A = this chain, B = another copy of it.
C-alpha cells in the first residue's frame, strides 16, 4: 500500500449453503454466484459452506479471468467449506482450527465433522490480512448448549487476530459468526480484537432491514426458526481493523434482498454482505485502543468467562458420568468373566445363564465400555480446553484491570 494514499476495496461475503445432496438447487445457485461475481468484479470474495471441492473447482475455472488468485481451506472430515477469491495476489495462507467445535456424536448437527476453522490469506494488496470463517451454529437460542464452544471460538479468533494483526496494515474478517449483534461473543470479538462492524460504521446502507442476513422472505430459510424474529437476524458480518498508520472507512454496505437478478432464487439461505471500504494512510500513527473502552471490555470478558465456566461445569459433569458408565460396564464384564471362569472350572453347579444371553450381555457391556471410554476422553479434552480458555480470560481481565 506504500505510496498509494487511498485504496477502494470492494468485498463480497456469503455463506453459500452448498452441501452436496442436502442443499436445495445447489448447482444452479453456485452457477449463479459465479456469474454474479464475474459480472460485479469485487476485489475480494470470502465464501463459506462451499463443502464440495468440485463446486470450488468449478468456481475457480469460471472466475479465473476476473479473480486470478484463490484458495480453498481443507480441514476436518468434510472440509472447512471456506474459500477465498481475489483480484490481487495471495501471498500466504494459514489455517487456524478452533480447539473446540461441538460433539462428534451430535451427528444431526454435524459441526464437529466440518473442522470449523479460520482461513487466513495474506496479500490482496499486501499487507492485508483477510479472514474467512464460520463459528459453531446456534441450534436453539433458549437452551444454547453450544454457547461455551462458540465463545471459546470467538476468544481464540480474537486472540489470533491480536497476535497476527501486527504484521498487517489492515485486517478484514468476513463470515457467518452465528451470533446476533448484541450477543456476548460478538461484543467479545469486537472489544478484545478491536474490530469494527462495517454495518455500524457504514456511511450508506442498502439491503434488508437492520442488515439482517437470515430473513423470512428468503425461500430457503426455515420460517419456524425465524418466528421470534419477524424481521430476520443478522449473523453474517464484515468486520475490520486498521493497524498503525492506516484508517479504514466503510463507504457503503449492502445486503442482497431475495432472488438474484433475473432469476427466481436467491444465492443461498443467507443473504450476501457487500462492503466498499476506503483505506487511507495517515500521517500520524493511530494509537492503541483507547483506555476509556477498557471498563466496558472488562464486563464483556467477565461475562464471557462466566459462560465458559458454565460450559466447563457441564463438561465436567459429562466427563464424570461417562467415566462412571465406563467403570460400570467394566465391572459387569469382569463379573461375567469371573462367572464364565467359574463355570469352566466346574465351581458353579450348572451353567447359570443360557449361552446366547450371556454372550449378548458381554457384547453389550463391551460396546458400552468402548463408547463410554471414548466419550470420557472427548469430554476430558473439552474440560482441558474450556479450563485453558477460562485461565486466558482471567489473565486478560487482570491485565485490563491493572492497566493505568
Seen from chain A, the residues whose Cβ lies within 8 Å of a Cβ on chain B are 71-77, 79, 90-97, 99, 113, 115, 120, 122, 159-160, 162-167, 355-356, 359-360, 363, 370, 377, 380-381, 384-385, 387-388, 391-392, 395-396, 399
With A and B bound together, what is the CA distance between A395 and B93 in angstroms?
8
Q: Once the chains bind, are A77 and B395 in contact (CB under 8 Å)? A: no
With A and B bound together, what is the CA distance between A79 and B384 in angstroms?
7
With A and B bound together, what is the CA distance between A404 and B95 in angstroms?
27
Say yes or no: A395-B90 contact (C-beta < 8 A), given A79-B384, A355-B356.
Answer: yes
Say yes or no: A95-B99 contact (C-beta < 8 A), given A164-B164, A388-B74.
Answer: yes
Q: Once the chains bind, are B167 and A163 in contact (CB under 8 Å)? A: yes
Count this chain's copies in the assembly: 2
Which B residues touch A72, using CB under 8 A?
391
Say yes or no: A76-B384 contact (C-beta < 8 A), given A91-B399, A94-B159, A392-B93.
Answer: yes
Q: Once the chains bind, are B384 and A74 in contact (CB under 8 Å)? A: yes
Can you list 17 A-B contacts (CB < 8 A)? Answer: A71-B395, A73-B388, A79-B384, A92-B162, A92-B392, A93-B392, A94-B163, A95-B392, A113-B377, A115-B381, A115-B384, A163-B164, A164-B167, A167-B167, A356-B356, A356-B359, A359-B359
Say yes or no: A391-B74 contact (C-beta < 8 A), given A166-B166, A359-B359.
Answer: yes
Which B residues touch A363, using CB under 8 A?
359, 363
With A and B bound together, what is the CA distance between A166 and B388 in angstroms?
25
With A and B bound together, what is the CA distance between A227 and B93 in angstroms?
42
What 8 A-B pairs are tightest by C-beta distance, nearest first?
Answer: A166-B167, A74-B388, A74-B384, A166-B166, A363-B363, A163-B164, A77-B380, A94-B159
